[in-house]
Every structure is written in C-alpha cells, then in structure tokens.
Amino acid sequence: MENVFIFDHPLIQHKISLLRDKNTDTKEFRELVSEIAMLMGYEVTRNMPLKEVEIETPVGIAKTKVISGKKLGIVPILRAGLGMVDGMLNLLPMAKVGHIGLYRDPETLQPVEYYCKLPVDVEEREIVVLDPMLATGGSASAAIQFIKNRGVKNIKLMCLIAAKSGIERIRADHPDVSIYCAAVDEKLNDHAYIIPGLGDAGDRLFGTK
C-alpha cells in the first residue's frame, strides 16, 4: 500500500506480541509502548535531511553530517497517544511536543476538537502524529485535518496497531500523509475495537477501565 509502512523488525514484532497479551500489567505495558515508539522512530526519521559540517575532534578536523532542514514536532492524540511520547523524546530530545484532544459528538457522531496546543512555529515543522490504535480512522483523520488547518504541510501518522479500515480512511482523506505501524489487523468488532488488537490502549496504559 502506497505511503503505508509496516515494521517487520524482530524486536518490534516481539514487543508487539507482549503488548497484545492480556496478562501484561500496566507497568510493563507502558514500558513496551514507549520502547516500540522509540524503535519505530528510527524508521520514521529515516528521510530527515543532512548537511555536511566540520567538527574539531581532539586530534583533527572531521567532515561529518548533522540533521538539517525542517525541525520535528510530535503531537499525541489524547489520551492514549501520550504513552508514545517518552519513547520518541528519548530518540529526539530536541523535538517540540503539541497535544490534541478529540471527543465524538453523541448526536452527529463526528469528532470534535476540545483541546489543541501546538508549537508556535508548527507550520515550519514536520509533524508526527502519535495514536497507538488506528481503528476506524475517524479521530486520526480529524486530528490530522485540525493540524493542517494550522498551516502544517508535512505530517506523518505513527501507530502501533492499525485496522485495514483505518488505513483506508487515512489514505482516502489524507493521501499526502504517510502511515507507520507495527501491525495490521483485519477487522473491527461492533464497538469499533480492533480484532484481535490489544484492547483499549488508554485504559491499559493508565490502569483505568
């Protein structure tokens, strides 16, 4: 699928298996989400541009490379996306962090933005949206659109597990947005939970029900 990247790295696949296990407790679940996010971050940032610089080492001058071009920002979708932030920041401590919160209107069933706080220079940054579970794709699509409305042109979506229907929704609504995920599951149940998935990521991260 164009613009869809599915990670097959053994470490990521191993940790996703542990994440799915219903017996994985809150502490371990939280650690696994952070670890997987950091591992995925390596690939998400693969195309960051570099420039050559000269560095003075203790014994001479080295021509070497540093990251150039657009700065990076990460935006978790509240609340489950928060679990992926620390892993990304361990890899990219210079990244700015925004937050976006959505709820579903009970009458229209459409996502409504209730909170959005983004870096002041967000339109100059490449933004990685964090959402552990891409189920119907409705919330992620709305979040991406809200971010685009702030002038952002370069957006990537990073999730742990995606349903095929969620991927199709993002590809239809935002064909310019690349999707990165560690696993793709076939379907949703009647409550729009990914099957087999891993349950409610937010509840498992924060120990709620």
The annotation status of 24 as a binding-site residue, yes or no, is no
Per the residue annotation, which of 20, 45, 86, 203 is the catalytic one? 203
The annotation status of 200 as a binding-site residue, yes or no, is yes
The annotation status of 208 as a binding-site residue, yes or no, is no
25 in active site: no
Residue 135's nearest CA partner among 111, 166, 159 is 166
Residue 30's nearest CA partner among 159, 207, 158 is 207
**How far is it, in rounded angstroms, from Cα 190 to Cα 178?**
28
The annotation status of 41 as a binding-site residue, yes or no, is no
**Strand partners for 184:** 162
Q: 164-173 and 138-148 are packed helices; what angle lies between their axes, rounded to 10 degrees?
A: 30
The annotation status of 38 as a binding-site residue, yes or no, is no
203 in active site: yes
The annotation status of 79 as a binding-site residue, yes or no, is yes
Q: Which residues of 42-54 are buried (b: 16+ CB within 10 A; e: fewer)?
A: eebbeeeeeeeee
**How far is it, in rounded angstroms, from Cα 47 to Cα 126?**
11
Neighbours of 156 (CB within 10 A): 21
The annotation status of 136 as a binding-site residue, yes or no, is yes
24, 82, 139, 184 from 32: Cα distances, Å: 10, 13, 23, 18
30 in active site: no
The annotation status of 139 as a binding-site residue, yes or no, is yes
Per the residue annotation, which of 20, 45, 171, 200 is the catalytic one? 200
SS3 45: coil
200 in active site: yes
Per the residue annotation, which of 46, 57, 108, 190 is the catalytic one? 108
Per the residue annotation, which of 104, 105, 176, 204 is the catalytic one? 104
The annotation status of 172 as a binding-site residue, yes or no, is no
The annotation status of 49 as a binding-site residue, yes or no, is no
The annotation status of 135 as a binding-site residue, yes or no, is yes
The annotation status of 138 as a binding-site residue, yes or no, is yes
Residues at the binding site are 79, 104, 131-139, 194, 199-201
Residues at the binding site for uracil are 194, 199-201
Residues at the binding site for 5-phospho-alpha-D-ribose 1-diphosphate are 79, 104, 131-139, 200
Catalytic site positions? 104, 108, 200, 203
